[in-house]
Amino acid sequence: MIQEQNYLTLDHCTILTVNENNDCIPDGRIVIRGNTIESIGTANDIPEKGTVYNLKNRILMPGLINTHTHSPSVLFRGLADDKFLHEWLTKYMWPAERHLNQELTYAGSRLGYLEYLSNGMTTNVDMWYFADAISQAAEESGLRSVVAPGIFSFETPQSAHSLQDAADYLEHFYSIPGHEKSVSRIYPCVGPHDVYSTTPELLKECVQLAQQYGTMIHMHLSETQRDNDAAMKLYGMSPARVAEEAGIFECPTLFAHCICLSDDDMDIFRKYHASVSYNPVTNLKLCEGILPIPKLREKGINITIGVDGAQSNNSLNLLSDAKTGILIQKVTEMNPCIMNAIDAVRMMTICGAKAIGMDNLIGSLEPGKRADIISIDIDTPAMTPILRLNAENISSHIVYTDTQINDVMVDGEFLMKDKQFCRADTREILYQAQKAANYIIQQIDKTGGK
Ligand SMILES: [Zn+2]
């Protein structure tokens, strides 16, 4: 028999479902049983159950899905702004990263997850070294996270054998009780960094590892013309073709950036149903280029959005990146109709869920799906007035105005309620992150910026 206390009712809110019809429900009610949405409708249609929260003046929508990030890099926020990509990477980022260790990665990741949470991201796809530390921070935050241990053909701050590190991480993760795929909010995967930073042989080994554990693959691809030129010089083919030949596309795959895909590359994506993570702020700041979204959409490729790391974006706010991302598409095409606010909302939710193979569980608010829900305050100057309670108008406010996240719930558990964190000790997290950054800066200064 189900106890009444297993139920929770979110009441009198405007619900942006992001279901297939983009239904918007004014004066809505969501009844949650445990971690799952049991019913959803108007307050008149369905009976309330369990504890009732009156969320008048709130918009409820699915939690945001950030499909590319590097959490610990938050420790390098502001370290090297306004540089060219190659100089930024080789002179600043890689030398700074050499000072990282397990403990510092953990401190940085905790800060990253706190920022994701405060900005309404309930699921993140995270790639970096020291995946154990990221996993631990993500798990403690209560957010969902797809954790990709970064794999390179050269030495990383963690070790000289990043493929072995990734294998050890996967084995260790699943040996811990509570980490079974059906219950854990952490989903380890395999993260070859890019074609230019691996080898075809190593990519093949990554495929074997992903297949052994039944995980997806997450990697960067064709971020710049320079990456394409390097692959062409070494292998006589594009990075996408190198990845295809290594078997990468035979696993479920999500690629970050993808700015310089050719028509043929896009056909490979379409053939294997691979998804793209659009990272507009990093792409703009490092002058990498602009993702050819109209062409990708023409080919029917699933496009999602990510914040990338704070080392290049500085801020971890998917909503503001979505606004930037669709505005630059408009001006690139000189066509304001090329993307709209509903497209941006779907890119941040259901398209992200599809990219990580979880669209049966998250990405929209529908009965049977997990209760990953955020609420947005509409009782603010920026959200007033609401002209019409429909998907167009509500999405427009969410994407184009200054949106304040009020509550965040994952699996029916409040992680932020009325802007207060329910699990996280903010003071402690900020203190430890500052301490970690102080240590890194000392090391950088000691080695003369190296
Ligand atoms: Zn990245």
Query: Cα of 202 to ligand 1 centre, how many Å?
Result: 19
The mean per-residue pLDDT over the stretch 409-424 comes to 96
Give the confidence band of 166 by pLDDT, cuts at 50, 70, 90.
very high
Query: Cα of 282 to ligand 1 centre, how many Å?
Result: 9
User: Per residue in 308-356, pLDDT tens?
Assistant: 999 999 999 999 999 999 999 999 999 999 999 999 999 999 999 999 9
The mean per-residue pLDDT over the stretch 78-101 comes to 91
pLDDT score, position 180: 84
Hey, what are 152's tokens?
């390179």
Query: Cα of 193 to ligand 1 centre, how many Å?
Result: 8
Query: Cα of 318 to ligand 1 centre, how many Å?
Result: 15
Q: Over 90: is that where the pLDDT of 369 sits?
A: yes
Mode of pairing for the β-strands spanning 24-33 and 36-42: antiparallel
Query: Cα of 293 to ligand 1 centre, how many Å?
Result: 19
pLDDT score, position 168: 97
Query: Cα of 27 to ligand 1 centre, how many Å?
Result: 40
64 membership: H or E segment, kind and range: strand 64-69
Q: Over 50: is that where the pLDDT of 40 sits?
A: yes
Mode of pairing for the β-strands spanning 144-151 and 51-54: unpaired
pLDDT score, position 273: 98
Query: Cα of 276 to ligand 1 centre, how many Å?
Result: 12
Query: Cα of 29 to ligand 1 centre, how many Å?
Result: 38
* Maximum alpha-carbon separation in the chain: 67
Query: Cα of 366 to ligand 1 centre, how many Å?
Result: 32
Cis omega (within 30 of 0) for bond into 239: no
Q: What share of the chain is helix, strand, coil (3-state, %, to 5)?
A: 40, 20, 35
Is residue 85 within 8 A of residue 279, CB to CB? The reply is: no
Query: Cα of 219 to ligand 1 centre, how many Å?
Result: 8
Query: Cα of 402 to ligand 1 centre, how many Å?
Result: 26
Query: Cα of 68 to ligand 1 centre, how many Å?
Result: 6
Cβ within 8 Å of residue 362, ≥6 positions away: 62, 63, 65, 122, 123, 144, 353, 369, 370, 372
| % of the chain with per-residue pLDDT over 70 | 98
Query: Cα of 162 to ligand 1 centre, how many Å?
Result: 17
Query: Cα of 69 to ligand 1 centre, how many Å?
Result: 6
| % of the chain with per-residue pLDDT over 90 | 93
Query: Cα of 115 to ligand 1 centre, how many Å?
Result: 17
Query: Cα of 257 to ligand 1 centre, how many Å?
Result: 8
In which residue are the tokens 């040996």 written? 175
Query: Cα of 128 to ligand 1 centre, how many Å?
Result: 9
Query: Cα of 127 to ligand 1 centre, how many Å?
Result: 7
Is residue 346 within 8 A of residue 352, CB to CB? The reply is: no
Query: Cα of 307 to ligand 1 centre, how many Å?
Result: 9
3-state secondary structure of 159: coil
Hey, what are 431's tokens?
């203190």
Cβ within 8 Å of residue 377, ≥6 positions away: 57, 58, 383, 404, 405, 406
Query: Cα of 71 to ligand 1 centre, how many Å?
Result: 10
3-state secondary structure of 9: strand
Query: Cα of 256 to ligand 1 centre, how many Å?
Result: 7
pLDDT score, position 5: 62
pLDDT score, position 1: 44
84 membership: H or E segment, kind and range: none
Query: Cα of 208 to ligand 1 centre, how many Å?
Result: 23
Query: Cα of 279 to ligand 1 centre, how many Å?
Result: 9
Give the confidence band of 450 by pLDDT, cuts at 50, 70, 90.
low
Hey, what are 86's tokens?
């190659």
Hey, what are 440's tokens?
């890194």
pLDDT score, position 217: 98
Residue 333 Cα to chain centre, angstroms:
26
CB atoms within 10 A of CB 283: 24
**pTM for the predicted model, two decimal places:** 0.97
pLDDT score, position 218: 98
The mean per-residue pLDDT over the stretch 52-71 comes to 97
The mean per-residue pLDDT over the stretch 371-389 comes to 94
Query: Cα of 26 to ligand 1 centre, how many Å?
Result: 39
Please count the CA atoms within 13 angstroms of the CA of 327 that sit on its side-chain side.
Answer: 12
Query: Cα of 316 to ligand 1 centre, how many Å?
Result: 13
Q: In 293-420, which residue ranges form alpha helices assigned H by DSSP?
A: 293-298, 318-333, 341-348, 350-355, 391-400
Query: Cα of 74 to ligand 1 centre, how many Å?
Result: 13
Query: Cα of 433 to ligand 1 centre, how many Å?
Result: 21
Query: Cα of 177 to ligand 1 centre, how many Å?
Result: 31
What are the residues facing 327 on neighbouring strands?
none
Query: Cα of 308 to ligand 1 centre, how many Å?
Result: 5
pLDDT score, position 144: 98
User: Per residue in 171-214, pLDDT tens?
Assistant: 999 999 888 887 899 999 999 999 999 999 999 999 999 999 99
First to last CA, the chain: 63
User: Per residue in 238-273, pLDDT tens?
Assistant: 999 999 999 999 999 999 999 999 999 999 999 999
Query: Cα of 309 to ligand 1 centre, how many Å?
Result: 6
The mean per-residue pLDDT over the stretch 300-315 comes to 96
Give the Cα separation of 333 and 440 in Å (integer).
42
Query: Cα of 129 to ligand 1 centre, how many Å?
Result: 12
